[in-house]
């Protein structure tokens, strides 16, 4: 009797994975359509445990997909839409070649449309799921909103991304959901909290677009992602506006001014919406939906009281943060980036305006006496008002991150700004470098050395160098004499005199016992630190040997990460010491040059 078993690679990883060529053959799609379908459906290549077994003995590196993912794609109706596009392009090309313009016009009017609504609903069944995956969506949409009409990026995509991102910013302003801001070389980092979900995205700086000479970026792939993200962001904006009891698409409370007669009304309204400086109207002219009051959950008595107290403090801080700039009026100069400042200030209750000749949407002029702060980014101004502060833009971002209005003395016009610290570092995590300025914010008792302190120290050092050597020697001799007298006093012991009497031997024995009953001072046993360190290391090695074999590689990677973080902290501290020393030397040199000029 012959037993026929399974052939090789018919089970296990050999039967679970497919190469990209096999997937294309199975789906009967081109590589371009297959890539687009995978991006829209969220299917990505997989990495097998044993690549040689998954590739049926082939040792070369191939792009592998799971067999179940390809079977999942086979039932997607978009595949039929791709085939319709293929037939449409063939018909249009034939009509052009045959110069059948009537048929060509009919084909173009019946152009097939690709709808992605069902894919958004399939990938994100709930609104919370969509919010969790909103980081990349917002970052890419904000990036495409700054693009001009270039190859593989239609102008309609850029305009639609711009409209949707502005609508999202209005929703964040209405909900007062912004929590953190950071300005870096890449752009503006924002972090908002919506429905308990933390969303972080990047908005690029507003620079002019520079065309790339090399095709290093695949805009086809990015535009495919944007095509899906635009539909997703539209659904998210609609849900956010509905929860905030506002109209979607957004509308204004008050009708447009008389200036709308001079320009197109739709263009004027879109520009006012893009200005982010006007409140949007709510449904039935009612007030917007009330903000959700943050309240801590009441847990039973076995909950940790310290954690409850920390959560209560955090709720109070967030409640104060929402009205940080309430009652303050800001005027933005023309050299300052307008959109990020207007967005941040309005998120926390501030009123903003700018020159009405610069852009649409200004609410008050520069001559208004009720302005409390004017944001400038220039060394000086010819005309200044006494009733307001002239500050630099960094004060706004640092105040938001500190969750309090910082003193304006360090941010005045023309002054050297303090370092702009990132709020995204986790201070509660171990092995984290904390700059001195951040420590000063966390600990009020800690003081950062300033230029004034350095100058005082340098003056003290110079005075110390000029001090005569005789006075130093006298102080040293006085200290030695005082130490000698203290040692003499400590070495003197109380003398016990015993009078000898010839009364009886028992009296002598009693005195001897009494003398022996004196309490003696105990001696401290000194520990050998080298021996103690050796024993601790030995015990640590023994504990390491007790780690299970399956967890040993994980432990090694954890220890390697710990060493890397320690090295990074050491390098940052060294960099800070070098920076402080060079700055101190510069100030010394400038002070010496100033003294020489004064004496001359």
Query: Mean pLDDT in each 10-residue stretch from start to end of the chain (600 residues)?
Result: 68 86 92 92 90 87 91 90 91 91 89 90 93 94 87 82 92 93 94 93 86 77 92 94 89 54 62 81 60 53 71 85 91 91 92 88 88 92 90 93 90 88 75 78 69 60 50 47 46 43 72 76 81 92 91 91 90 90 88 76
Q: Where in the chain is CATH 3.40.50.10190?
A: 306-424
Backbone angles phi, psi at 553, to 5 degrees: -65, -35
**Cβ neighbourhood burial of 170 (10 Å; 0-12, 13-18, 19+):** buried
CB of 344 closer than 8 Å to CB of 328: no
Residue 70 CB neighbour total at 10 angstroms: 20
Distance, in Å, from the CA atom of 341 to the CA atom of 338, rounded to the nearest integer, reads 6
CB of 20 closer than 8 Å to CB of 62: yes
Q: Which residues pair with 329 in a beta bridge?
A: 351
How would you list the strands of the sheet with 178-183, edge to edge?
178-183, 187-194, 197-204
SS3 487: helix
Distance, in Å, from the CA atom of 555 to the CA atom of 569, rounded to the nearest integer, reads 21
Determine the Cα angle at 191 with ends 190 and 196, to 5°: 160
Residue 30 CB neighbour total at 10 angstroms: 12
Give just the sign of the alpha carbon dihedral 25, 29, 33, 38: negative
pLDDT of residue 155: 80
CA distances to 168, 188, 339, 375, 556 from 353, in Å = 21, 21, 11, 11, 56
CB of 252 closer than 8 Å to CB of 281: yes
Give the up-direction half-sphere exposure of residue 276: CA atoms within 13 A in the CB hemisphere. 26
> Chain-centre distance of CA 309, in angstroms?
26
373-375/351-354 β-pairing? unpaired
Residue 257 CB neighbour total at 10 angstroms: 9
CA distances to 108, 193, 378, 410 from 404, in Å = 59, 19, 25, 15
pTM, two decimal places: 0.76
306-424 belongs to which homologous superfamily? BRCT domain (3.40.50.10190)
pLDDT of residue 319: 87
pLDDT of residue 459: 60
pLDDT of residue 429: 64
Please count the residues of the chain: 600
Distance, in Å, from the CA atom of 39 to the CA atom of 82, rounded to the nearest integer, reads 14
pLDDT of residue 293: 54
Give the end-to-end CA distance of the chain in Å, rounded to a whole number. Answer: 115
Give just the sign of the alpha carbon dihedral 526, 530, 533, 539: negative
Distance, in Å, from the CA atom of 57 to the CA atom of 8, rounded to the nearest integer, reads 10
Of 509, 488, 492, 491, which Cα lies nearest the Cα of 500?
A: 509
Helix residue ranges per DSSP H, 418-517: 436-442, 451-466, 469-491, 505-516
């Amino acid at each position: 009797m012959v037993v026929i078993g399974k052939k090789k690679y018919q089970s296990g990883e050999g039967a679970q994975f497919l190469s990209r060529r096999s997937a294309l053959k199975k789906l009967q799609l081109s590589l371009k359509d297959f890539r687009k379908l995978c991006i829209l459906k969220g299917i990505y290549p997989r990495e097998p445990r044993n690549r040689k077994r998954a590739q049926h003995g082939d040792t070369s590196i191939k792009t592998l997909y799971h067999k179940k993912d390809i079977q999942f794609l086979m039932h997607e109706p978009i595949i039929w839409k791709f085939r319709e596009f293929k037939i449409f392009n063939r018909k249009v090309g034939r009509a052009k070649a045959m110069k059948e313009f009537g048929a060509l016009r009919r084909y173009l009017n019946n152009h097939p449309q690709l709808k992605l609504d069902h894919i958004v609903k399939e990938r994100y069944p709930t609104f919370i799921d969509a919010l969790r995956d909103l980081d990349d969506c917002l970052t890419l949409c904000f990036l495409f909103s700054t693009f001009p009409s270039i190859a593989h990026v239609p102008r309609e995509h850029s305009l639609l991304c711009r409209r949707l991102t502005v609508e999202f910013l209005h929703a964040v302003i209405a909900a007062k959901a912004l929590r953190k801001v950071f300005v870096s070389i890449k752009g503006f980092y924002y972090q908002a909290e919506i429905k308990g979900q933390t969303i972080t995205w990047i908005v690029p700086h507003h620079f002019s677009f520079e065309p790339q000479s090399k095709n290093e970026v695949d805009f086809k792939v990015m535009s495919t992602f944007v095509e899906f993200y635009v539909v997703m962001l539209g659904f998210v904006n609609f849900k956010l506006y509905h929860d905030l009891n506002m109209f979607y698409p957004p509308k204004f409370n008050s009708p447009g001014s008389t200036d709308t007669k001079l320009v197109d009304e739709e263009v004027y309204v879109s520009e006012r919406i893009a200005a982010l400086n006007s409140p949007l109207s709510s449904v039935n002219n009612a007030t917007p939906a009330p903000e959700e009051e943050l309240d801590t959950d009441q847990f039973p008595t076995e909950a940790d009281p310290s954690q409850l107290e920390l959560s209560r403090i955090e709720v109070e801080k967030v409640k104060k943060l929402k009205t940080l700039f309430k009652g303050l009026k800001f005027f933005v100069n023309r050299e300052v980036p307008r959109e990020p400042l207007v967005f941040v200030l309005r998120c926390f209750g501030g009123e903003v305006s700018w020159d009405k000749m610069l852009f649409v949407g200004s609410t008050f002029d520069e001559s208004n006496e009720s302005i409390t702060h004017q944001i400038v980014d220039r060394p000086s101004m010819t005309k200044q008002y006494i009733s307001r502060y002239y500050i630099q833009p960094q004060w706004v971002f640092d105040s938001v991150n500190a969750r309090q209005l910082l003193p304006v003395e360090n941010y005045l016009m023309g002054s050297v700004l303090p370092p702009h610290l990132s709020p995204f570092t986790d201070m509660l995590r171990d092995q984290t470098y904390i700059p001195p300025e951040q420590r000063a914010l966390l600990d009020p008792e800690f003081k950062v050395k300033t230029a004034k302190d350095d100058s005082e120290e340098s003056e003290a050092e110079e005075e110390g160098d000029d001090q005569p050597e005789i006075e130093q020697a006298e102080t040293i001799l006085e200290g030695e004499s005082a130490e000698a007298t203290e040692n003499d006093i400590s070495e003197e012991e109380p003398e016990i005199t015993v009078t000898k009497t010839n009364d009886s031997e028992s009296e002598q024995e009693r005195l001897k016992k009494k003398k022996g009953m004196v309490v003696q001072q105990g001696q401290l046993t000194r520990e050998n630190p080298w021996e103690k360190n050796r024993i601790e290391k030995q015990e640590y090695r023994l504990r390491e040997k007790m780690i299970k074999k399956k967890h040993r590689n994980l432990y090694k990677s954890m220890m390697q990460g710990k060493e890397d973080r320690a090295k990074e902290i050491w390098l940052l501290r060294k960099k800070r010491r070098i920076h402080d020393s060079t700055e101190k030397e510069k100030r010394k040199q400038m002070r010496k040059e100033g003294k020489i000029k004064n004496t001359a």
